[in-house]
Amino acid sequence: MAAACSFRSVAQVPPPLRGLARRRRVRCCSAATPSGVVSAKLVLEVKERLEREHPGLPTGRNGRDDEEMILWFLKDRKFSVDEAVSKLTKAIKWRQDFRISELSEESVKGLYQTGKAYVHDCFDIYGRPVLVVVASKHFPSIHDPVENEKLCAFLVEKALSRIPLGTENILGIFYLRGFGVENGDLQFLKFLIDVFYYYYPKRLGQVLFVDAPFVFQPMWQLVKPLLKQYASLVRFCDVETVRKEYFTEETVPPDFRS
């Protein structure tokens, strides 16, 4: 399995995003990026402010003194110290209140066993971990919403823990074949948007909506405005596109094999 699931030694460049995302990347590349010395000073400044203004926040990995995490949020906030401090405070408090460090496969076993969502064993051809959601197995009228959120957080953490060196984000796949009105869950989708915007910024490289039926369109019209410019991360496609453009024959997720 390890050999079959290894990604290519030289990972391909992910496909370009559409519209605004493409324009944003051009602006980002042309903007001045702080040097390593300046970045280190900004990290220290954020770190000292968090210690001074929020001494009760936890320390250690994913805590207020985690310099790697601080740098990531600084990059997300275009090196604005004030914005990075604000967003980091919100994210660290959420991790603490949600008890992210205590989540495990055992703690989410009830919903995990439904197969409604999982982290694929293999990377895509761009070297990214893959988080798959099978929408037809999601029943908001039956499944506890808090347990759904815990499963989501656990799987995002699991996917991010598998990011290899040189890769910065993951691929999300929503398999929508068989999706019906009973599977629609706007509350959960709002939670998911918050998770990736506030708590795991820039960690979602692309989202595939696969085999979306007509009945999904009203849900998309509600969700799209909430995504704002990040709607450009979404691509509607079919199963064949997933197989041919994102995986090798040996690494396709089981739900998309012929």
More confident residue, 178 or 6: 178
Taking residues 145-153, report their average pLDDT. 96
What is residue 24's predicted lDDT score, i.e. its pLDDT? 39
pLDDT digits (tens, 9 = 90+) for 55-84: 999 999 999 999 999 999 999 999 999 999
Q: What is the pTM of this model?
A: 0.87
Q: Between vectors from CA 200 to CA 56 and to CA 60, what angle results, nearest 5°?
A: 35
Residue 11 is predicted with a pLDDT of 58
- pLDDT value of residue 173: 98
Task: Compute the average pLDDT of residues 88-103.
Answer: 97
Give the residue carrying structure tokens 């691509």: 235
Q: What is the mean pLDDT of residues 222-226?
A: 94
The answer on pLDDT for 184 being more than 80 is yes
- Residue 6 clears pLDDT 60, i.e. is over it: no
